[in-house]
Amino acid sequence: MAIHFRESLEAIGEAEQALAKSPAAKSLVPVYSFLSVTEAGLYHITADLARAAEARGGKVGDAEYTRTLAGRVAAERDSDHVKRRLYPQIPADMDYVCFYPMSKRRDAGQNWYTLSLDERSRLMQSHGLTGRRYAGRIQQVITGAIGLDAWEWGVTLFGKDPLDFKKLVTDMRFDEVSARYAEFGDFYVGRIVRP
């Protein structure tokens, strides 16, 4: 498995070309690739602003909503938490990696995208609390692939102990977001090799 974090598609292409020209390429057989971008989730902000717009008699997308959203997004973008999400680094002290793609269900009766913004926000907050129990043991990088791949998201987990991947994914499967609304692709697990 080769993981490239780069700032542009061109830089990803350069990394792929460099790998293809390396001596290691002779023993590698590509069987799968996944392209995605880092992003900061805005469920909590947009849900808060939608409620505020309704309370003041406005609506989502009006001038006040748009102005407030721009300010909140700018503040989020400047936070260390969001910077770590947008510009991830492979942790030096976590030697194992797990990657899998996933999408939200769009089945009749289980369509994530027909839920209200408040409901999706509530579910994602609960989902995040499940993951936070693994803080310090697992570092995650969530990337968006809508329009870039058949799957909607890529999940990359770094860990000190690969058994923590199993424990976390098992806990997540009992979380309502995953149990009711998630579809998972193949899982790829390995040990990080540093040149």
Tens of pLDDT along 56-109?
A: 999 888 999 888 888 888 887 788 888 888 889 889 999 999 999 999 999 888
In the three-class reduction of DSSP (H, G, I as helix; E, B as strand; rest coil), residue 57 is classed as coil
- As a whole-number percent, the residues of the chain with pLDDT over 90 amount to 55
Which of these is catalytic: 65, 96, 100, 181?
100
Query: Does 2.60.40.10 match the CATH number of domain 31-41+89-191?
Result: no
Output the CA torsion 102→152→98→138 (10° steps). -90
Residue 190 has pLDDT above 90, yes or no: yes
What Å distances lie between residue 91 and 30, 69, 137, 170, CA to CA? 25, 32, 11, 23
Report d(CA 7, CA 142) in Å as an integer.
15
Provide the pLDDT for residue 43.
Answer: 63
Report the interhelical angle of 117-132 vs 163-174 (nearest 10°). Answer: 150
- Type and span of the H or E element at 75: helix 63-77
Provide the pLDDT for residue 32.
Answer: 92
Active site residue 100: yes
Residue type, position 108, single letter: A
Mean pLDDT for 150-160 is: 96
Domain boundaries, the chain: 31-41+89-191
Provide the pLDDT for residue 148.
Answer: 94
pLDDT band at residue 156 using 50, 70 and 90 as cut-offs: very high
Residue found under tokens 């505020």: 52
Q: What is the pTM of this model?
A: 0.82
pLDDT band at residue 195 using 50, 70 and 90 as cut-offs: low
The rounded mean pLDDT for the chain is: 90
